[in-house]
Amino acid sequence: MANFMKTAVWAMLGIIAITSLAQAMPLNRCAQLVRDQTGREAIVNTCNACIAVKVERRRPGQNLGTPNLRDFLIPPGSNQLLPFRGPGVTRIMSQDACPTAGRQ
């Protein structure tokens, strides 16, 4: 009987963890990095919530140096043109809900 209770508790904890992970997943996929024909990059917010995105830009020959990090607040369903020009690699480091999204 004790093993059944332990199994039931672990199963409930697993369901709770999967549920909270499933709710957090859509926010993690809101920001997408897109490039147009001219080579300019933009971040597109595909969700219905404001997101705060941290972007890293590395330029050629800058392997040992500090990368350029920028933070952007992107409203729901909009895009943000990135200020980076020239050769380099851009990637999204993190994305969270906007700091003011829960306060009203």
pLDDT tens for residues 48-63?
A: 889 999 999 988 876 6
57 domain-assigned: yes
Per-residue pLDDT band at 27 (split at 50, 70, 90)? very low
Q: Are 9 and 19 in contact (CB under 8 A)?
A: no
Residue 5 has pLDDT above 70, yes or no: no
Domain coverage including residue 53: 2-97
- 30: its two tokens: 């809101």
**pTM of the complete model:** 0.63
Contacts of 32 by beta carbon, 8 Å cutoff, 6+ apart: 43, 44, 46
Q: Is there a domain that residue 85 lies in?
A: yes
Q: Is residue 102 part of a domain?
A: no
Instruction: Give me the percent of the chain exceeding a pLDDT of 70.
Output: 64
3-state helix, strand, coil in the chain (%, to 5): 25, 35, 40
Q: Domain containing 88 — which CATH number?
A: 2.60.40
The total number of structural domains that make up the chain? 1
The answer to whether position 33 is within a domain reads yes
Structural domain contains residue 93: yes
